[in-house]
Amino acid sequence: MTQLDAPALESTLTHPVRPARVAAPAPVMRRQSVGRHLLYRGDCVKVMNRLDAESVDVVVTSPPYNIGLSYRSYDDRRAEEDYLDWMVSVATAIRRVMRPDGSFFLNITGSSAMPWLPFELIVRLRSLFRLQNHITWVKSISIGDNSVGHFKPIRSERFLHRNHEHIFHLTLDGAVPLKRLAVGVPFKDKSNIKRRQHAQDLRCRGDSWFIPYETVHKRAQKFNHPGTFPIMLPRMCMRLHGLPSPVVLDPFMGTGTTLLAAEAEGARGIGIDLDASYVGIARTRLLGAMRDAADAAGTSSRRLR
């Protein structure tokens, strides 16, 4: 029942009915483990404040962008100052749980209506972090007449389609060593390998990462969640940080993509979301991925016998 339909019902009853509150009550923090991962339902600042300080190697996350997306429990239309203050409190909580040599990959974009937002935010975070790298996540690109990847079309005579988003790589001292070749690409000109005395046929990919979304035809294929990222995004961030079996945190877990990436990369994931049904989706996806991996391992060990 909503606040709107309460008065009609009230008129047919002898005892007045108190209208339902529009704002959802603050969700209780709940924790569950799935394999080696921990999933929390609750407010990420409250949950992070209960985690041990300096206990997380890598944070990969995509917060709500404040661009009016329809999440189930979160209103993505805050006043801009309020949003920025809130994000600073989130980043402060992240800083406390990060190890001194940790990496925080913050994925964010603006909109045609709020084009300054990612830049305003990153400037606000200057007192907390060093901006070690600024990666551009390219979702769709045209090279000559050839186009690859997907984007949300914008009907406008003023604005171009937004084909990219930001991944800000934030660290505490700006000097965290990375494993650049873990996300490297083979040399185009193979003569470079010998000439420049490279140990292998791999070079740094650079800071433009083309990671297309999988093609989907229905919202249900994206779990009816309005803002997921592709699994390769957190996988590449983890590989770039380069630590074997890291502890990886996503304070805005959504459908659990970062946890699936952690499972695939041999990491231990911690995911937090305000919404119980998104946590349920993350759990189901994670269990499915673990079952698929076990089935694949069973099939290959049967083949060996």
Ligand X SMILES: C[S@@+](CC[C@H](N)C(=O)[O-])C[C@H]1O[C@@H](n2cnc3c(N)ncnc32)[C@H](O)[C@@H]1O
Can you give the binding site for ligand X, defined by CB under 6 A?
43-44, 62-64, 71, 73-74, 225, 227-229, 252, 254-255, 257, 272-275, 278
Backbone angles phi, psi at 34, to 5 degrees: -130, 110
How far apart are CB 61 and ligand X at their closest, in Å?
7
- In whole angstroms, how close is the CB of 49 to ligand X at the nearest point? 12
Beta strands in the chain (DSSP E): 30-34, 37-41, 56-61, 98-108, 130-138, 140-143, 146-149, 164-171, 208-210, 247-250, 268-273
Could you give the CA distance from residue 169 to residue 247 in angstroms, rounded to a whole number?
17
Minimum Å gap between C-beta 140 and ligand X is 18
Map residue 234 onto helix, strand or coil.
Answer: helix
Q: Which is nearer to ligand X, 71 or 210 (CB)?
A: 71
Judged by beta carbon, residue 108 or residue 240, the one nearer ligand X is 108
For the CB of residue 272, give the shortest distance to ligand X in the complex, in Å: 5
Q: Which helix (H) or strand (E) holds 244?
A: none
Cβ proximity to ligand X, 187 vs 277, nearer residue: 277
Q: Please choose, from the candidates 213, 244, 242, 241, the residue with its C-alpha nearest in 3D space to the C-alpha of residue 227.
A: 213
Q: Which amino acid does the sequence have at 21?
A: R
**50 vs 190, which CB is nearer to ligand X?**
50
Q: Are 164 and 210 in contact (CB under 8 A)?
A: no
Residue 222 has phi, psi (to 5 degrees) of: -110, 25
CB of 41 to ligand X, least distance (A): 9
| 97 and 249 Cβ atoms separated by less than 8 Å | yes
Nearer to ligand X, 114 or 202 (CB): 114
Instruction: Point out the residue whose Cβ comes nearest to ligand X.
Output: 254
Q: Which is nearer to ligand X, 180 or 222 (CB)?
A: 222
Minimum CB distance to ligand X, residue 64 (Å): 5
